């Protein structure tokens, strides 16, 4: 297959403006979003935001790509065994080469969260573990009064996609998901349902950047 030249930054911006409008595109270009966890939620959030023209993405994950990730996460079979942060960066550069990326191959903790997240306007929580989710909620809401957190709870199983919703918990905290399903319930994970929840998170981020505060 012949490779075509990569469009210029100006050409891609013009295409975004044609589909999204110049005002929206300019606001998205000026925003920085941190994604904590690059699995089923985080990798799909990153792809959506990069395609939408976010100015900068901060990508954080300490894990490596496993074969069991391939059915719902934005990785390739050839990337099994690679650090997720580095593998996702390579994939993102193929679809959105002019977004600015900051990559951290490390685990987010209460001790390093301030350093990792200080430059973000909005933080996306995309962890698997409930304790990690709770830690990030506490850190962002308590230590970053100017930042908004978009988190997730409940996207496991084969239930109706219509159960996936976005709720505004507080003025700076939004929660996406069905609020009850969990992989620990032994009901499995399916790509469409995980991607639906990730899409809710990505859309919420975009709406917040554009000044829309309702859920």
Per-residue pLDDT tens over the stretch 5-48? 999 999 999 999 999 999 999 999 999 999 999 999 999 999 99
Q: What pLDDT score does 2 carry?
A: 66
In a domain, 59, yes or no: yes
Question: Tens digit of pLDDT for each residue in 41-96?
Answer: 999 999 999 999 999 999 999 999 999 999 999 999 999 999 999 999 999 999 99
In a domain, 15, yes or no: no
Q: What pLDDT score does 186 carry?
A: 75
Count of domains for the chain: 1
| Gap between the terminal Cα atoms of the chain | 44
Lookup: tokens for 44 = 């799909």
In a domain, 56, yes or no: yes
- Among 42, 66, 45, 53, smallest CA distance to 15 is for 53
In a domain, 10, yes or no: no
In a domain, 13, yes or no: no
Question: Exposed/middle/buried for 179, CB within 10 Å: 0-12, 13-18, 19+?
Answer: middle
Q: What pLDDT score does 1 carry?
A: 59
In a domain, 90, yes or no: yes
In a domain, 11, yes or no: no
**Whether the Cβ atoms of residue 171 and residue 134 lie closer than 8 Å to each other:** no
With a cut of 70, say whether residue 109 has pLDDT above it: yes
Query: Is the full-model pTM beyond 0.75?
Result: yes
In a domain, 132, yes or no: yes
- Residue 138, domain extent: 21-209
What CATH number is given to the structural domain containing 181? Answer: 3.40.50.720
Q: How confident is the model at residue 190 (pLDDT cuts 50, 70, 90)?
A: very high
Distance CA 52, CA 76 (A): 22
Give the range with max mean pLDDT: 78-82, 128-132, 154-158: 78-82
Q: What pLDDT score does 215 carry?
A: 78
Phi then psi dihedrals of residue 173, to 5 deg: -140, 115
């Amino acid at each position: 297959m012949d490779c075509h030249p990569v469009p210029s930054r100006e050409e891609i911006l013009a295409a975004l403006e044609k589909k999204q409008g110049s005002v929206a595109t300019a606001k998205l270009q000026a925003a920085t979003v941190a994604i904590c966890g690059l699995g089923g939620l985080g990798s799909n959030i990153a792809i959506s935001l990069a395609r939408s023209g976010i100015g900068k993405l901060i990508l954080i994950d300490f894990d490596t790509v496993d074969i069991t990730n391939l059915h719902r996460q934005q990785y390739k079979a050839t990337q099994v065994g690679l650090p997720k942060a580095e593998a996702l960066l390579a994939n993102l550069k193929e679809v959105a080469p002019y977004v600015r990326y900051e990559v951290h191959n490390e685990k987010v903790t209460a001790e390093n969260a301030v350093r990792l997240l200080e430059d973000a306007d909005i933080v996306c929580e995309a962890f698997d573990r409930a304790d990690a989710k709770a830690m990030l909620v506490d850190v962002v809401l308590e230590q970053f009064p100017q930042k908004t957190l978009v988190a997730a709870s409940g996207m496991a199983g084969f239930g109706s996609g219509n159960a996936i919703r976005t709720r505004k918990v507080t003025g700076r905290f939004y929660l996406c998901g069905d609020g009850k399903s969990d992989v620990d319930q032994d009901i499995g994970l399916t790509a469409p349902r995980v991607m639906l929840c990730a899409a809710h998170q990505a859309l919420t981020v975009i709406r917040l950047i554009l000044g829309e505060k309702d859920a």
